[in-house]
Each structure stands twice: as structure tokens, then as C-alpha cells.
Amino acid sequence: MLPERSAAFAERRKNSRDAAMSTRNSDGTRASGETSALRAPWEPLPWRLAEEDLETAQRLAAEIRELAAKKNAVILAHNYQLARVQEVADFVGDSLGLSLRARETAADIIVFCGVHFMAESAKILNPGKKVLLPSLAAGCSLADSITADSLREWKARYPDHVVVTYINSSAEVKALSDICCTSANAVSVVRSLPERKILFTPDKNLGNWVKKRVPEKEIVVYDGVCPTHDVLRSASVRRQRGLYPDAVILAHPECREDVVALADEVCSTTGMFDAVARHPEAKTFIVATEWGIIHRLKKMYPDKEFVMADGCIGCRLHCPYMKMIDLPQVRRSLEEEVFEIEVPQDIAEGARRSLERMLAVKRDS
Ligand code: SF4
């Protein structure tokens, strides 16, 4: 495509997107607070409820809260969950924040609205609780990219290396690791280790980002990626920057190196909420992570504009696993107490050691 045609095409996309967003925003403004949260106007269409379904969603949300109170259950939701699931939760956060909440909760039941490895971590950190994952389809491609056997092979190849494993991994892999980390504390975790030689698993992009920030360590990075973040190309981010030249770019470190290099702030999902506050002069933020985060960003900063880094409405920066849970699944989970997450004791013990060691390290600054 010729440059001028490309610019015209990008401008048309921007105009049609702005028109779509303004229609949705006025929709959201007209509705009551609860209604707009149940049908967040910036969510891609398949996840927006039709008018006739709003009543059902409100009824389900009320039933969920009633069941949670009756059963002394706490509902935890990740920042990438659907807006209406975030709204019905007691606490919304990133992997680190949710792990801490799971460990500290006095509730009898933890309903984990996230993906399988998160619910598994909650069970490991608080084994006396009943931990429920509302949908067993909520897996994670990144966690699946490393198995206990593949880690054993890597450990055999790098016998002098200490293993730092991203929390996005199975309990078996955590049990074979020396320490875990999340995107909120990966740099601090690596710096906290006395050893110089590190094997970082499984996320290649996060590992390479840590490697740059901690050059004094010798870090070997495993070959896994999160497809949701790895799909984003710097060309898309540059196009968005062209359309919003004064915008601040926020990127998750699971993005590719060339994308991270364009970012003004590289942080975990929760870190993004603080990052916005560091730029009071900015009106627009280009967000390079899963689109579910837009709900909380909009809630916290209603006067700011947030646009997706891929220039899309969520077909690319979209994690299908995080969207497996909706209000009917949460309600069923509470009512029937499904699907209970169990971790064999020997594996849980090893994984708990790696997780607890991680929790003793502070968040990255
Ligand atoms: Fe896994 Fe990526 Fe989805 Fe997170 S966004 S659950 S790392 S596939």
C-alpha cells in the first residue's frame, strides 16, 4: 500500500473507531452505573449483552452476591476478565495481587475468575480452602508451553543455573523451580537471588525484558510466549502512535521486544493503573495488553481515553481463556461448588516453596 493511501486508510479506521466508541460511550452514560458495568460499552460485540439480556445479567449478579454471602465465599477476578465478572468480584487484580488475596482470605471458598494456573496457585497458597474455577476451559497457552519433562531437560542442559519460573505455569513446573515470579516482580525476584546464572521460564519476552534490566546476571531464556501478547507487532503500535501522537504507550512485558522498546511505561496490569497517574498531562493512552483491562482503567480514569495498541476492538489482544467465564458460570460454580481445584500434596509442597519465596520479594518499582 502506498504511504499516502496507508495514511488515509489509518485515518478512516480512526474515524470509524471514534464514531463507534462515542456511540458506545453515550450508551454507557445513559445507563445506570450497574447496567453500564454489566454491559461495558468498550467490550467487543460478542461479549456485549443485548438489551433484553441486561435484566438477566442483573439478576445473575444479585444471585451471585447472595450465594457468596451465604457460603462465605470470596470472588477473585483477574484484570482481563469480562467487565461484568470484575464487577461482581470482591477483588480484582493481577496474578501477584490475587495470590496475596488468596493466601490471606478468611473465606471458606475461593471462586477464582481467571485461568487454571491462578486457581491452582490459590489452592497451593491456601490449601485449607475450597478453590473453585468456574470453567475448566480456562487454560493458558503460555503455561502449556512448558511441562515438567521439558523443564527437566532444560535443567539438565543448564545444571549450574537457578530456575526462575513465571507464575503462568503448572504446579508441577513450579515444584521443579527454585522461585516463581510475576510480571509485577520479575526484575526484583531475579535481583534478589545471590546466584548469577539464571534459567528463566517459560515466557521468552518477559525473560528478555528482565535480562536487559539485570545485565549483571547471566540469564538463559526458555522458548515460550503468550500468544495474546506476542501477536502484537511494532508496526501496529507505530500506526496508533501516528494517530495519537501525544498518547502515552503502556506495554506489558509479555509483548515482543520491539513493542516494549516503543513503550513509555512497561508494567504489569496493576502497574498500568499507577502508570496512568504518573502522566497527569496525557489525555490518551495506547494500551498494549489484553483488552479486559480497559474496564478498570476507564473506571479509575473516566476523563482519559484508552485505545488498544493493535488499533482493533479486541480480536488480537484478546485472551480466549480469560473470556471462558461469564456470570452464568460464576453462579453455577457457587451453587454447585464446581470445579474444585486439587493439587497432589507432594507437588503442592514444592510449588508452595517457590511461590512463598516469590511473595517475600517486593513488587518492581
Ligand atoms: Fe495465558 Fe496469555 Fe491468556 Fe495470560 S493472556 S492467560 S498468559 S494466554
Q: Is the CB of 230 under 6 A from ligand 1?
A: no
Q: Determine the pLDDT at residue 364.
A: 82
Residue 47 corresponds to which cell in the numbers above? 461479549
pTM comes to: 0.89
Residue 23 corresponds to which cell in the numbers above? 456511540
Among 34, 33, 11, 30, smallest CA distance to 22 is for: 30
Q: Set out the domains of the chain in order of their start, with CATH numbers.
A: 3-138+321-336 (3.40.50.10800), 142-226+344-359 (3.40.50.10800), 228-308 (3.40.50.10800)
Q: Which atom of ligand 1 is nearest to the CA of 168?
A: 7
Backbone angles phi, psi at 66, to 5 degrees: -65, -45
| Mean pLDDT (whole number) for 140-147 | 98
Backbone angles phi, psi at 247, to 5 degrees: -75, 155
- What is the C-alpha to C-alpha distance for residues 357 and 304, in angstroms, rounded to an integer? 38
Alpha carbon of 80 to ligand 1 centroid (Å): 9
278: left (phi over 0), alpha (psi -120 to 50) or beta: alpha
Q: What is the pLDDT of residues 322-363, one digit of tens each?
A: 999 999 999 999 999 999 999 999 999 999 999 999 999 988
pLDDT confidence tier of residue 72, bands split at 50, 70 and 90: very high
Question: Is 186 a residue whose pLDDT tops 90?
Answer: yes
Q: Which atom of ligand 1 is nearest to the CA of 290?
A: 5
Alpha carbon of 227 to ligand 1 centroid (Å): 7
CA angle 327, 328, 333 (to 5 degrees): 95
Alpha carbon of 24 to ligand 1 centroid (Å): 27
Q: Is the CB of 293 under 6 A from ligand 1?
A: no
Q: Which atom of ligand 1 is nearest to the CA of 203?
A: 7
Residue 321, classed as helix, strand or coil, is helix
Q: Determine the pLDDT at residue 313.
A: 63
| Protein residue with least CA distance to atom 5, ligand 1 | 319
Question: Is 120 a residue whose pLDDT tops 60?
Answer: yes
Q: Is the CB of 168 under 6 A from ligand 1?
A: yes
Share of the chain above pLDDT 90, in %: 81
Top mutation candidate among 169, 183, 228 for ligand 1, by most atoms within 8 Å of CB: 228
- What is the C-alpha to C-alpha distance for residues 111 and 329, in angstroms, rounded to an integer? 11
Q: Determine the pLDDT at residue 50.
A: 72
Share of the chain above pLDDT 70, in %: 86
Alpha carbon of 145 to ligand 1 centroid (Å): 11
Distance of CA 202 to the CA centre of its chain: 16
